[in-house]
Amino acid sequence: IGGHGAVMMGALLIHGMRPGPLLFEKHPDFFWAVTASMYLGNVMLLILNLPFVGV
């Protein structure tokens, strides 16, 4: 695990969630919120960086 994974696991434990495969079954709303935020962040970065591409 790297530092990022350790921070994420610590945050999950602080909020009472155990990291692992059962996280998807017990807290699907959290899983989908994290997944959606990653997609949204990628789209925002794409929009912000397209003007800087020298095509």
pLDDT digits (tens, 9 = 90+) for 9-41: 999 999 999 988 998 899 999 989 999 999 999
Is pLDDT of 55 > 70?
no
Q: Would you state the pLDDT for residue 4?
A: 92
Give whole-number Cα distances, 16 to 4, 11, 13, in Å: 19, 9, 5
Residues 6+ apart with CB under 8 A from 14: none
For residue 50, what pLDDT band results from cuts at 50, 70 and 90?
Answer: very high
C-alpha distances (whole Å) from 18 to each of 23, 35, 55 are 7, 17, 46
pTM as predicted: 0.68
